[in-house]
Amino acid sequence: MTESLLEKNILKTAEEVLTIEASSVTALIERLDKSFEKAIEILYNCKGRVVITGMGKSGLIGKKIAATFSSTGTPSFFLHPAESTHGDSGVLTKEDVILAISNSGETSELLQFLPLVKRLGIKMIALTGKPGSTLGQKSDVVLDISVEKEACPLNLAPTASTTVTLAMGDALAVCLLKKRNFSPEDFFMFHPSGSLGKKLLWKVEDLMIKGEELPVLSPEASFKDAINVISQKGLGLALIINQSGKLEGIFTDGDIRRTVQNYDKVSDLTIKQVMTKNPKTIKKDDLAAQALQIMEQYSITALAILTEDGVPEGIIHIHDLLKAGVA
């Protein structure tokens, strides 16, 4: 087989895998019913922890689901079903909820775990590809995660089935997040380190430029005055503020270039004639991450910060977001 033909076969196989897994996840939508709603109610009303369990690949997926739950407001941990029958089940309380994962629904280690769950009266939600299995019959709620076929050409290695399980876990976690009104500030509590923490830690007022550092001009200022102010302050822009103290516009390095290109004589111009009206703004109580999102969306490098009355009180610049690790 030639190298080019081999490459084509590899890409074709990859395409088939992704198509099978994507269609398997999409198929879950039609199965969202009262059982899913009941599962959410049980998880939401859990007074203890959500204990996720599963063997092999199901267990690995279960660990990720447990991590997602815990980081989004639903206390959760993974319990290995085999270890649970050798003493680890001592961590369970009657107020917990079990989320058991098994594609076949007949995993022996899970079935050995069931008598203890029933004796403690713990509610159990099953994620299984066989709703009529022993696990399904013994559970309070069953969520069907069956797939038509695995992405593996032998139809043996857990591929599409584990992807579907992960997606169902994400659906549960996000629904719980919304039901709890989980905020960015709540999320930060569980992610104080790294880029996620930095993005959620900083607010606009923590990074904004204010006071005498602000480049400010009146609408009647000349083009030369604008260049001088922008050059002195080094932010690449100036805020145009009218007699009422309100923001009327913004004048940037880009506006300077456009003005020079469009006008033969710039000396007679006032900034009001060439400024950018209705510039993008933000409030000081907003998250710095929101400022970054606006800048990226509109391909700009700074935002004016306004009070509730529309009075400018600062600027937040992309450079400050970079220094703080937000960008």
**Residue 263 burial (CB count, 10 A):** 14
- At the second CATH level, the architecture of 3-182 is 3-Layer(aba) Sandwich (3.40)
Q: What angle do CA 103, 109, 110 make, to 5 degrees?
A: 55
Tens of pLDDT, residue by residue over 8-27, are 688 889 999 999 999 999 99
Tens of pLDDT, residue by residue over 277-318, are 989 999 998 888 889 889 999 999 999 999 988 899 999 999
Question: What does the block give as tokens for 231?
Answer: 């050059």
One fold for 3-182 and 204-323: no
Q: How many CA atoms lie within 13 A of 19 on its CB side?
A: 6
Dist CA 100 CA 138 (whole Å): 11
Question: What does the block give as tokens for 89?
Answer: 């089940």
Kindly give the interhelix angle for 160-179 and 3-27, rounded to the nearest 10 degrees.
40
Q: Considering the entire predicted model, what is its pTM? A: 0.61
Dist CA 304 CA 326 (whole Å): 18
Q: What kind of fold does domain 204-323 have according to CATH?
A: CBS-domain (3.10.580)
Beta bridge partners of 103: none
Give me the pLDDT at residue 105, please. 93
Give me the pLDDT at residue 91, please. 83
Mean pLDDT of the chain: 88
Dist CA 312 CA 64 (whole Å): 45
Phi-psi sector, 87: left (phi>0), alpha (psi -120 to 50), beta: left
Give me the pLDDT at residue 193, please. 58
Dist CA 253 CA 114 (whole Å): 69
Give me the pLDDT at residue 134, please. 95
Amino acid identity at 21: E
Domain ranges of the chain: 3-182, 204-323
Contacts 24+ apart (CB under 8 A), 89-92: 89/113, 89/116, 91/51, 92/51, 92/116, 92/117, 92/120, 92/122
Question: What does the block give as tokens for 124?
Answer: 């159990």
pLDDT less than 70: residues of the chain: 1-8, 85-88, 183-200, 327
Give me the pLDDT at residue 89, please. 73
Q: Is the dihedral of CA 168, 172, 178, 182 positive or negative?
A: negative
The rounded radius of gyration (Å) of the Cα atoms in the chain is 29
